[in-house]
């Protein structure tokens, strides 16, 4: 086993152990930096679950597949979400779910786990992070805040 594979396995095992301690209803959670490391090494797939509008107007992670958990500006839940994920991935694949702040991705991870997926992880902080005291995102956490690779149309 190579060093990157060993490190990836350690990240995933630690996330699973913490999830068990916290009684999470999915495999675990990882930080944006850990998600990038796992995705970049090929040990996991980073699935962007934000709406099409969010991807277009806010940005996206290059090479990350997109399956919307919710659609439109009203964020109407996509009833085909689990089926769409199942059409693209095996239920044992390491999947890292990314949304705006880490909240929708936690719900999506739980839904996929209930649908039989066994290795679904939430990316903490999401793409933009939480809203700060000035009612702005991107200043206190998230993929962009940590200066991880992203692009915009």
Question: Strands (DSSP E) along 19-137, which ranges?
Answer: 28-30, 45-48, 70-71, 76-77, 95-98, 120-123
Is the pTM here over 0.85, yes or no?
yes
Q: Looking at residue 18, which CATH number applies to its domain?
A: 3.40.250.10
- pLDDT reported for residue 72: 78
Number of domains in the chain: 1
Kindly state whether residue 85 falls inside one of the protein's structural domains: yes
Domain extent, residue 58, equals: 3-123
How far is it, in rounded angstroms, from Cα 43 to Cα 138?
A: 27
Share above pLDDT 90 across residues of the chain, in percent, rounded to a whole number: 80
Alpha-carbon gap, residue 44 to 21, rounded angstroms: 23
Whether 121 has a pLDDT exceeding 80, the answer reads yes
Mean pLDDT score, 14-29: 98
* Mean pLDDT for all residues in the chain: 93
- pLDDT given at position 24: 98
In a domain, 134, yes or no: no
pLDDT given for residue 135 in this prediction: 76
- Which residues does residue 105 pair with via DSSP β-bridges, in sequence order? none
137 located within any domain = no
Rounded mean pLDDT, 54-61: 93
pLDDT of residue 136: 72
Residue 136 lies in a domain: no
Question: Using CA atoms, how far apart are residues 59 and 146, in angstroms rounded to an integer?
Answer: 14
> What pLDDT is attached to residue 145?
92
Which is more confident, 117 or 139? 117
pLDDT recorded at residue 36? 97
Q: How many CB atoms lie within 10 A of CB 96?
A: 29
Residue 50 lies in a domain: yes
More confident residue, 95 or 135: 95
In tens, the pLDDT along 37-51 reads: 999 999 999 999 999
Q: State the pLDDT at residue 119.
A: 98
Q: What was the pLDDT predicted at 138? A: 73
Residue 56 in domain: yes
For residue 140, being part of any structural domain is answered with no
């Amino acid at each position: 086993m190579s060093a990157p594979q060993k490190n990836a396995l350690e990240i995933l095992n630690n996330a699973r152990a913490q999830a068990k301690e916290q009684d999470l209803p999915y495999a675990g959670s990882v930080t944006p930096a850990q998600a990038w490391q796992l995705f970049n090494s090929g040990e996991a797939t980073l699935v962007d679950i934000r709406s099409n509008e969010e991807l277009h107007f806010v940005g996206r992670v290059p090479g990350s597949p997109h399956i919307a958990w919710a659609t439109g500006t009203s964020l109407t839940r996509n009833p085909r979400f689990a089926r769409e994920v199942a059409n693209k991935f095996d239920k044992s694949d390491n999947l890292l779910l990314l949304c705006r702040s880490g909240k929708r991705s936690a719900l999506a991870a739980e839904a996929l786990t209930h649908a039989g997926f066994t290795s679904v992880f939430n990316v903490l902080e999401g793409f933009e992070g939480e809203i700060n005291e000035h009612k702005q995102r991107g200043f206190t956490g998230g993929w962009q805040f940590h200066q991880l690779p992203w692009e915009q149309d």
